Amino acid sequence: MYFKVLHKNYLPPLVDSWYITEPDLWYLDYDQAGYAPSEYREERKGIRILNETTIANFLERIEKYERFTEDIRLEFLRELRTNREEAYYDYNQCFFIDFDRLIFYSTYPESISFEEYIPNKWEGYLQRFDEQVLYKYRYWEDKNKNYLVRED
């Protein structure tokens, strides 16, 4: 699972990264999602609501899951050659979270509505967000070709 975090104003330096984690870390509001504090994963202990004021602490905790775009691109293109169907599923980006504009986008492939469990004043959408990702961070594109678009 690939998760894009866009967060410019609250952290020095600019954080604009991909993270590969378990999806449940990205319920922004654990209360709304029905999590009891005893059920929180280690990375979310003490962070009931993941928002613009708690993101710095959270990103420190998940630093080990951060990945460079070029590394993901190389792995994705390699897997496309060996197992195309699995690559489409495994490398499909799931969330785009903009902590500056307070917007959560989800394309999560299963029947869980992450975009509904967001803090007050946030907007949540179930929709593609490819075009909102700067080209240099689109690991699924290489030489202006989108490899997540099926050509069947």
pTM listed for this prediction: 0.82
Indicate the domain borders of the chain: 2-69+96-132
pLDDT less than 50: residues of the chain: 1-2, 6-15
3-class SS shares of the chain: helix, strand, coil, % to 5: 35, 20, 45
Give the type of residue at 75.
Answer: E
Burial 2-18 (b: 16+ CB within 10 A, else e): bbbbbbeeeeeeebebb
Question: pLDDT tens digit string along 106-149?
Answer: 887 676 788 999 999 999 999 888 888 888 888 889 888 888 87
Nearest to 92 by CA among 52, 49, 135, 138: 138
* Token output for 15: 């954080």
